[in-house]
Amino acid sequence: MKVLVADKFEKSGIDGLKAAGCDIVYEPDLKDDALTQAIKNTGADVLVVRSTAVTAPMLESGALSLVVRAGAGYNTIDVATASKRGIYVSNCPGKNAIAVAELAFALLLALDRRVPDNVADLRAGTWNKKEYSKAKGLFGRTLGLLGYGNIGQEMAKRAHVFGMPIVVWSRRFASGKENIADAPIAMQMAKSPEEVAERSDVLSVHLALTPETRGLVSASVIDKLKPGSYFVNTARAEVVDYAALDKAVRERNIRVGLDVFAGEPSGATGEFRDALASHPSVYGTHHIGASTDQAQEAIAAETVRIIASYKDTGKVPNVVNLAKKTPATHMLVVRHRDRPGVLAHVFDHLRNGDINVQETENVIFEGAQAAVARINLDGAPSDALLKAIQEGNGDILDLHLVTI
């Protein structure tokens, strides 16, 4: 299996892929047209990327069957095109959670104690203990969390140790999927993002970017923040209305820590100008939340696990683009002797009846003399078609149709 690694990747990951029997092409500086051409020229089966964008032309240019995002988010990958072409997309969720939470908390502490300004004045030869002795402190101040995935949970652990009450809004709690009372740390649940903002002294954003979360932290949320409160975003710029945030900074003394920005340079270095980042009340970092040695080693190990599993079993851990629910409306259950041609006979008749198979599994009974096939269909076969299937092959023992 040929693997094209088109981003910086840990040596332990390269070694692990080689040990798994993969043929590695390591070209960490590839992007845009050069990456498209490399995918075509190498005939790679698997593409590994970190921050590099994976576009439709890239996915259409070669023989890729799996793209692994060596990180958590996958908004830089054209998942829709991958799905159309039957290319798996997988990621490494949770492996950078501690690293991102550490940076988010570092930004929070920096905002409260104005650490960057302290450092800048000292380097400039200015001593100003009078000014920098002004700090609110974090103990007893309420942390609001928008999102309670892996990173949000790590933030809650750290806030709890700092003595901060926690209020959270998350779809897992709002939908009833999970009960906040079962969380390992005592928290209060808010009914909406607006309520979290209203109740918080510090609001920290930990939402994955999806169509539902894009722009979710809107002006209606930001306007609920108390004057002088803190706002931290280490998730994605696209989930926050930065124009509304800029207004809050300028008009209501909101102090902000950001690791993500709109219009970030595509490469690791480059010129960057941003009005929000230049404001004295905004501390920014260079989208480095996941960039610790510990996180990258963990991500590399997970990437190796994903690719090795695909190579050895055909199964892809952490796949993000398989349908949660197919268009299937009926299941055809066929008990049959385990002999060649039985399922081909069934599928031929379904095709002739213009019925599409959505999913199928064939389970063998002990002794390998008989099996049962469960075939999910996008429509109901007629009685005549079912009769033709059963009577047309003597190895079919029984069949019945179930409405899904």
Positions annotated as catalytic residues are 236, 264, 287
Q: What angle do CA 80, 84, 90 make, to 5 degrees?
A: 60
Q: Report phi then psi at 276, rounded to 5.
A: -65, -45
Distances (CA, A) of 399 to 276, 339, 346, 351, 391: 65, 16, 11, 17, 11
Contact 300, 16 (CB under 8 A): yes
CA distance 382 to 380: 6
Of the candidates 328, 302, 316, the residue with the CA atom closest to the CA atom of residue 87: 316
CA distance 302 to 272: 32
Distances (CA, A) of 141 to 137, 165, 190, 196, 354: 8, 7, 16, 13, 63
Of the candidates 256, 228, 231, the residue with the CA atom closest to the CA atom of residue 136: 228
DSSP type of residue 217: B
CA distance 39 to 21: 20
